[in-house]
Amino acid sequence: MIFSKIGSRALLAAACLAVLPFVAEARELRIGLITPPSHVWTKVAQRMAEKLPEATDGDLTLAVFPAGQLGTEQEMFQQMSTGLLDAGLMTAAITSLRAPSLQGWFTPYLFTGVSDAIDAAKTPAAQQMLGELDRAGLHGMGYTFAGMRHILMRDEPATDVAALQNKKIRIVPFPAMKVWWQEVGAVPTPVNLTEVYQALPTGLLDGVDIDLDALVGLKFQEVAHDLTLTSHMTFPAVMMVSDMTWNSLSQEDQEAFQKVADEALAWGSEQQITAEETNLATLENEMTVTRLTDGKQAFAKANEAVDASFAAYPLIADFQAQVAAEQAK
């Protein structure tokens, strides 16, 4: 009789559980990037993390790992290829090692400012560049931007090419930037961004090719005292997801994730327009700032060398032409 009662209760409990709604646990995705917490790209990733759970009805969350916590960009690319990392907000510079036409973004003096670059992201060629990531096992979702590139020097302004001869300049190690600095006559020196602060005062570096966001965020003005505003290149980031992760998502979650990414990337780009002004105001109070008004002419040979290096990539020529057409409107 006791067994019968226990059995009946167990059956009743099982029946009750059967009619309760099933609540699935949210799947946590991980995104890595090299920028510090204060950088606009990190804020973009955090914005996605805030909005993704609601957009996917609790299916997806996003954990953000900034400041190279998961390694260098090269290491994070390797992690995405093996499924250890789900997503990255990566520099277009290092991404171009997997999708070479992305180097078109680094055409010297193609853009006068961040707003021009934002408009260029809407061109068909820019979208085709994202499509090249398919061959690397990555799904490209879109672009956002840091500021324009300038030249930070330890102890003298870069007022002309002569001032840069044989100077050790920290670069992002990808072909277009390497070609440009070699033609200038400097010694392009790849150093991890996290090591630049120590490399400047010790003399390992004489200067840095840098955007103002990274300069201010990493406090490089404490160890280098002369900034020359050259705006010689723009500097996009590419939002991407490992194909292994992307293909495992439902169509509904893919669409929701893309929508969240589109909003956050556009938000970040608009924030960057304002950040250019506030970062410059900060630096003008803390260091010597020189404006190079004839940079395109001063670096003409280096600009031509980069263009010549693009000859093997017809998509870059298409991109340059489409950007020129947009700017002419």
- Residue 225's domain is classified under what CATH number? 3.40.190.170
Interatomic CA distance for residues 234 and 218, integer angstroms: 19
Interatomic CA distance for residues 151 and 168, integer angstroms: 12
- 14 lies in a domain? no
Interatomic CA distance for residues 284 and 305, integer angstroms: 32
- Measuring CA to CA, which residue among 323, 328, 310 is closest to residue 121? 323
- 241 lies in a domain? yes
Interatomic CA distance for residues 227 and 155, integer angstroms: 10
- 17 lies in a domain? no
State the Cα torsion 52-122-100-104 to the nearest 10°.
-140
How many structural domains is the chain composed of? Answer: 1
- 77 lies in a domain? yes
- 1 lies in a domain? no
- 111 lies in a domain? yes
Interatomic CA distance for residues 300 and 121, integer angstroms: 25
DSSP string, 7-48: HHHHHHHHHHHHHSPP-PPPEEEEEE-SS-TTSHHHHHHHHH
What kind and span of H or E run contains 186? Answer: none
Contact yes or no for 146/237 (Cβ under 8 A) = yes
Contact yes or no for 280/272 (Cβ under 8 A) = no
Report how far Cα 119 is from the mean position of its chain's Cα atoms.
17
Give the model's pLDDT for residue 24: 61
Instruction: Write out the E strands in 55-105.
Output: 60-65, 87-91
In this structure, the number of other CB atoms found within 10 A of the CB of residue 219 comes to 12
In this structure, the number of other CB atoms found within 10 A of the CB of residue 24 comes to 8
Give the model's pLDDT for residue 2: 41
* Torsion 96-320-291-277 (CA) sign: negative
Interatomic CA distance for residues 327 and 314, integer angstroms: 20
- 96 lies in a domain? yes
What is the span of the domain harbouring residue 49? 23-328
Q: CA of 151: how far to CAs of 90, 94, 165, 194, in Å?
A: 22, 19, 14, 18
- Measuring CA to CA, which residue among 248, 247, 201, 235 is closest to residue 220? 201
Own/partner contacts of 250-254, CB < 8 Å, gap of 24 or more, are 250/59, 252/56, 253/56, 253/59, 253/60
In degrees, to the nearest 5, what angle opens at C-alpha 267 toward C-alphas 263 and 269?
120
- 46 lies in a domain? yes
> pLDDT (tens digit, 0 to 9) for every residue of the chain, 329 residues total?
444 444 454 454 444 444 444 456 899 999 999 998 989 999 999 999 999 999 999 999 999 999 999 999 999 999 999 999 999 999 999 999 999 999 999 999 999 999 999 999 999 999 999 999 999 999 999 999 999 999 999 999 998 999 999 999 999 999 999 999 999 999 999 998 889 999 999 999 999 999 999 999 899 999 999 999 999 999 999 999 999 999 999 999 999 999 999 999 999 999 999 999 999 999 999 999 999 989 999 999 999 999 999 999 999 999 999 999 999 98
